Amino acid sequence: MGFLRTHFLSPPFLFLSLLLIVFFKGVYGGGITLINRCDYTIWPGILGNTQLESTGFELSPGATRAFQPPPGWSGRFWGRTGCSFDSATGQGSCQTADCGSNQMECNGNGATPPATLAEFTIGSGGGAMDFYDVSLVDGYNIPMMVDSTGGSGACQSTGCAADLNRRCPAELRGGEGKACRSACEAFGNPEYCCSGAYNSPAACKPSLYSEMFKSACPKSYSYAFDDASSTFTCSGADYTITFCPSSARLSCHPLHSCVRVHYISSLRRVQVTPLTVPSICMHRIIPLPRFLNKIRVIPY
């Protein structure tokens, strides 16, 4: 008469197994966690060279979802907004960044522009570099930031926390004002799309529209050949994609210079210092004393 034999790990072997799991996760990293800081539900979409456990799902305010792409994975994430899916059939669509699958899962379809994109190429392990960026080349529909943790190398945060929908020129507005199109999508001209005779870094230069995007979001891709200041590398890191990150992270107005606001308690005054460095502003906002709550800082 046969029987099933159950094997239990002794405490030393169990500890070693857990230690190895933590070690290899730290070495290879590559985990990507999505966080919804918006005050509304979004429906992230995912497209990659290999399919993850989901290609589209609902993410309510404050919710998170984590993925562990395999080494060598390359793909993109985006946030769909204004979605409606039938509870019986599962069919539906989204007002912005819809993937055209007629379902919550995108099933191998990409985002319909305009859409803010977080793009990744995960290293193949053994210290290989990851590449990542946040792209506005296909337009903009939602604020997004990418942060790295636990990695080595020139790991930096990137993204676009500014609300470009409120500042979008009339000729670029899409989705009933809920998204901002790229100049390429809006006009289709080769010089905006970096196509045809303009398909090279030497021939395709930033337009007034892409410069507007770049001014608001200096670390994001603003047009096809905006690689130098928009692609970032890191090794062995885990990543967080935050939708609707706090506006306090970016104090740059697209039409004005940045300022640093500092309260000097001993003098009971506010010091405002212009920042002329053309880089992303990453200064924490510290609550001011109660008697200063009504003070407004107006961009100069």
Residue 16 predicted with pLDDT over 80:
no
Strands 32-36 and 238-243, by their bridges, are parallel
**Domain ranges across the chain:** 28-246, 258-292
User: Is residue 38 within 8 Å of 61, Cβ to Cβ?
Assistant: yes
Pairing of strands 74-80, 238-243: unpaired
Check if the beta carbon of residue 214 is closer than 8 Å to that of residue 225: no
Mean of the pLDDT values across residues 254-271?
A: 47
In this prediction, residues 51-73 reach a mean pLDDT of 97
* Tens digits of residue pLDDT in 122-139: 998 777 899 999 999 999
**Of 108 and 3, the one with more pLDDT:** 108
Reduced to 3 states, what is the DSSP secondary structure of residue 39?
Answer: coil
Q: Quickly state the pLDDT bin for 24 (edges 50, 70, 90).
A: very low
Structure tokens at 280: 């992303």
pLDDT of residue 277 exceeding 60: no
Q: Is the pLDDT of residue 186 over 50?
A: yes
Residue 58 CB burial class (10 angstroms; 0-12, 13-18, ≥19): middle
Residue 30: per-residue pLDDT: 77
Domain 28-246 class? mainly beta
Q: What is the pLDDT of residue 26?
A: 44
Q: Which residue in the block uniquely carries the two structure tokens 């985990």?
A: 31
* Cα-based distances in Å from 264 to 251, 267, 290: 19, 6, 14
| 229: pLDDT strictly greater than 60 | yes
**Angle, CA 89 vertex, CA 87 and CA 92 arms, to 5°:** 80
pLDDT of residue 266: 52
Q: Mean pLDDT throughout 141-155?
A: 94
Residue 131 has which token pair?
Answer: 């590449």
